[in-house]
Structures are given as C-alpha cells and as structure tokens.
Structure 1
C-alpha cells in the first residue's frame, strides 16, 4: 500500500526502485574514487582530495536511499526509521558544505596566494566543519519529541527524515544553510570570473583541455648543471639520469622525456684557458605553457584549474538541489499535497550525488584515467614518479628550475 495518500502504489514503487538503482550507481562511483585516489598517486590532487572526503557523506546518503520504503513502513518509532532519518540529516547536505569549502579554497588561491601545502593543512578543519556541523543537529533530533507533534524524525514521503509536523526544521537545518553556502560560493566564483575575464586575452588557452595542468602537487627542485670536459670514455661515462615525463597522448614519436625548464637562452662557462659560449638551447626546452607563465606573473597558478573544477562541482550541486528546493516550496504552498513529479526528481537526484562527483573527478583527472585504462586493458606499465638527478662535481655550475613531473603513459613515447 502507498505510504502517502497522495501517491499510488505504482508511483511509490517507481520512487523506491529509482532510489535503489541510483544508490547502487553512486556506491560504484564512490568505490572508484576511493580506490584510484588511495592507490594511484597521479589522482592525488588537492581538488580530488576534497571530492574523496565528500564521498563519505555520499555513502551515507546512499545507505539511506537503499533503505528506501523500509524505514517508513517500519513506523516512526522504529530503529530503522530513526536510523534512516539520522543518515539523511547527517549526510544529505554535506556536498553543499564541501562546495562551500572549495569556494573558500578558490578565494584563498586567487586572492591570498595559497599553495598546495597550505591547502593540505586546511583539510582537517574542513572535515571537522563539514561533518561536525551535520552531526550535531542529526544526533540531537533523535532525542527530541513533543506531545502534540511527536518525534522529529518520522516518515517524509520518500524516506524517513524530519517529519511534516516539524517542517520548519527542514528549512532551518538543511535548506537554509545549503543555499547560504551556494550563495557564498556563487559570489566567489563571480569575483574570480571577473579576474579571469580581465585576463582573457592573455589566458586564451584557459579552457583548452590540452593545456598543461597547473594544479597538481609540484615540487620545485634546484638542479645544478656542471660544464666539464668529457673523459676518454666520452658521454657513456656519465651516469644516466632518472627521468620522468608529462602525460600526453599524441602518437607522434618524440624525445624520451621532457621537463619544464626556466633558464636563459644562452650561457657561458669558464674553463682553465678560455670562456666558451654555448649555443642557444633547443626550442623544445624554451617552450613553456603560456597559461602557466601568465598565471605565475599575476595570480597563483594553482588557482586556475582549481576554480574550473570547483565550479563543475558547484554546478552538480545546483542540479541536485534545485528540484528538491522547489518541492519544499511546493509543500509549504500546498500543505498536505505531494507532487509525484517533484518527489520523483528528488528520489532520482539525491542518490546520484556521488555519480556527479565522479564525473567531476574524471574530468579533473582525464589523463590519469586514460593511463589507468591503458594499464588495465593494454598492460601498460602505469605510473612511475621520479626526480631528475644530475651529477654535480665541478666548480662552475648553472642553476635551472625544474619541476618534478609524472610519467602517466605506458611505454609509448611522450610528446608535446
């Protein structure tokens, strides 16, 4: 029989099946995010770290959605209904809080120049904020009841949550702060968008997916290059450096490795009897990403990709919460009535939060995902992360700035 007089048995069955199917999809998405983030270094980016943390909240929402109609059918005082309601209140709005934290990071990166390491130090505070803010009301509501309205937690159309008699608490402890977070994030993205717009001519490649990824954990190493006469054994007497290369998929054969080098185009070295001027460096070593160059001169380069990905996460949040918010407004305007269309949209979108996060995660780590697929299906060697080592045993040296970079391909040549 239907749990609400406004819904037929067929409608309720459609809602229940949708909740469970979409929850299964999201659980698979959470598993993929967790496995790749924890086991594959190239997925370990600052923005991915927050998506990984948000996965715990998505899992809680999926558990509540899998329970589906079992909670309401068990009765408002049953442990199943109370547990389901706790999970909904605890985890449903966590993605909104993570979007808020991502917006804060965008602000800190664009306007305060925060680095990757500084972001890492904020992670624990974000975890406490997102899950602590949800936990307190979720736990308190378990013990709150009133003679005229009963317990706070009870049947709420598609599952157990805050009951209709306590409808105001839904707005005060979920919808209100979700939309405050959305509004705050929007203000930051508008301000960041103005900055991007002002530099759009310089950053013409900002939205180009083939641009280098400026927001990965980068370690800058001072490398000393020594100029010295070769011994009788020639170049073969020098130890081969360990190298690493950037992830590119162009099939054209090129050099074995490459690096982002910031050096002058010519330089000199004093030997015992004369000064030798070396020719200009090859053009390949003089090429630098225009996006990175402009970003380094103006705004923290780590902000560019972070803002783009955080905004995608924000869009996914908007897609999820607009239909549900309309449904809440409808319930206020028409007390006692239930819209099947709006209820079905909520049951469809809420369990899919982790799937939308996976879409953002894959977009963020597209090259890493391509490498992972090659590893799984074509036997590629996967990831090898090393640092360039160059021998330093002379008196005259030239300093170069090289960035530690990752090899993301298999054994195929790495090209620009």
Structure 2
C-alpha cells in the first residue's frame, strides 16, 4: 500500500514527513469545510441566504480554513527533539503526528476535529427542529424546493373601474400587472443545499469513529493492536474523498439534473 511507504522509509525520511504534513493539513480541512457547509445551511434556514450570498462566503471560508490548517502543518515539519524525535512519524498505517507527541495529537488533531463535529451536530439539530416546525417541510423534500421567503401577490390585477372619483364621475379601469417575484430568492434546491451537506456530515461522522476509537485504545493501552480496527481505519480514513464523491453523485447530481429539467420546462413554457 502507498500509505505504508512512509513508515517503511523511516520517521526522518522526506516521504514520511510529507505524509505527516498531508495528514495534518487535509483531514482537519475536510472537517472545517463540512462545518462551513453546516453553517451555510444554518444561514439558509434561519437568515434566508440565497445561492449568490453563499458564494460570496466561499472565498472567506477558503482563506480562513487554509490559514488555520496550514500554520500547524508547516510548523510541525521543523519540530524535532533528541528525546521524542520528529513531530511527524509512523502511526502504523501512515505517517502523522508521532505517538511520542501524543498531547499535540490531541490538541491539534482529534480535539479540534471532534469539537467541530459537535458544533456541526448542534447546527444540524437546530436546523432540523426549524424545518420540522414548518408546514411545508415534507413538501419541500418531495418537490426538492426549499422556500426562501414568502412572495406577496396582489389580490386583484384591476382597479375598480366603477369606483367613483372625488368629483363623482366614474373612472376607467386600469390594468396594473403584479410586480415580478424577486429573482433567485423564492426557493433553493433542498437536495443540493440541505440534504447533501447533511449526508456529507453523516459520512464524516462515520469516518472519524474508527480512527478515534483506535487512537483512544492505543492511548490507554500503548501495546494495543487490532487488525479489524486498522482495516476500518484504512477503509474509512483513506477514502474520505471517495465517500464525499458518492454523496455528491447520488444527491448533488440528481438535484442538478432536476434543476436542469425544470429550467428546460420553464423555457418551453415561455417560448
């Protein structure tokens, strides 16, 4: 396996250090992006953010998340003591923060990750309660349309033509078309903006159960080694992108396809 090449090369090797850098950089970034998605859903449900407003936040997310994860990941490359060795070292399946630096692994890896997961759980809990309180919640799921705001319509398009004016004469009926609804504000795709982030979070939660269990077991019992648990760690941790891709293809692409079909139908209706 490619992941084992780092530990086999030795803790001080460039390959092991590079693996450690990647493991410190990207898994926490994955959790941060998933939390950002949960925050986006929170903004949609509670503050009526639309797609355009969410896109404006993406650059800010990118800057903040990249800064947060890159600083410790780069700094740990330069930490090496005679007593504990380099910060990055073998953790059986790949190189990450060396078990000799277990406190740093808790403070800069598992601790923040589970704190972010807890924050996302709270956000989705609030979101779920809010959605279930709405009468149109199940309709939104079936129609793949999450209402953003209520668009007001005039009850009548015609003024009363027989209404007398101030001088007693009748007035002529004047047609006043209703104002068009605000563009891109009436609804969003429920699958794309609510269901898909939720499923990605569930996948993330499942992914981190096995690695955390393995790390807690090895922390309490340094000689502990479980092949089934290591297999679960490898199957989930090494395939984070794969599982996210599965969610995107099964849910996100379906929502995009439905939106495309709806746009074509609307175009035919107009023409």
Contact 1:109-1:303 at 8 Å conserved across structures: no
Aligned to 1:113: 48
Q: 1:107 to 1:214 in 2, by over 3 A?
A: closer
Give the Å deviation of 1:329.
0.8
Aligned to 1:202: 136
Give the Å deviation of 1:183.
0.5
- Gaps (5+ residues) in structure 2? 162-171, 176-184
* Partner deviation per Cα, 1:177-221 (whole Å, 9 max, x = no partner): 11111111111111111112222x43332332xx14448xx9xxx
Q: Residues 221-300 of structure 1 correspond to what in structure 2 (within 5 A)?
A: 267-268=157-158
Aligned to 1:355: 242
CA distance in 1, matches of 2:68, 2:35: 13
Q: What is the RMSD computed on CA atoms of the aligned residues? A: 3.3
Aligned to 2:254: 366
CA distance in 2, matches of 1:213, 1:204: 10
Q: 1:303 to 1:212 in 2, by over 3 A?
A: closer
Aligned to 1:70: 5
CA distance in 2, matches of 1:185, 1:302: 21
Which of 203, 209, 229 is the aligned partner of 1:342?
229
Which of 198, 203, 223 is the aligned partner of 1:316?
203
- Gaps (5+ residues) in structure 1? 1-15, 17-66, 219-260, 278-294, 372-382, 385-404
CA distance in 2, matches of 1:302, 1:170: 40
CA distance in 1, matches of 2:97, 2:197: 30
CA distance in 1, matches of 2:55, 2:258: 26
Give the Å deviation of 1:263.
6.2
Which of 189, 195, 200 is the aligned partner of 2:124?
189
The answer to whether residue 73 in structure 2 is matched with residue 138 in structure 1 is yes
Give the Å deviation of 1:264.
6.1
Contact 2:88-2:96 at 8 Å conserved across structures: yes
Instruction: Name the SS of the counterpart of 1:207 in structure 2.
Output: helix
* Greater RCO (CA < 8 Å, at least 6 residues apart): 1
Aligned to 1:46: none
Q: 1:182 to 1:361 in 2, by over 3 A?
A: same
Aligned to 2:39: 104
Q: 1:343 to 1:137 in 2, by over 3 A?
A: same
Instruction: Name the SS of the counterpart of 2:58 in structure 1.
Output: helix
* Count of aligned pairs between the two proteins: 247
Give the Å deviation of 1:303.
8.8
CA distance in 2, matches of 1:106, 1:368: 18
Contact 1:110-1:303 at 8 Å conserved across structures: no
Give the Å deviation of 1:369.
5.1
Q: Residues 369-384 of structure 1 correspond to what in structure 2 (within 5 A)?
A: none
Give the Å deviation of 1:151.
0.7
TM normalised by structure 1 equals: 0.53
Aligned to 1:158: 93
Give the Å deviation of 1:176.
0.7
Aligned to 1:94: 29
Contact 2:89-2:98 at 8 Å conserved across structures: yes
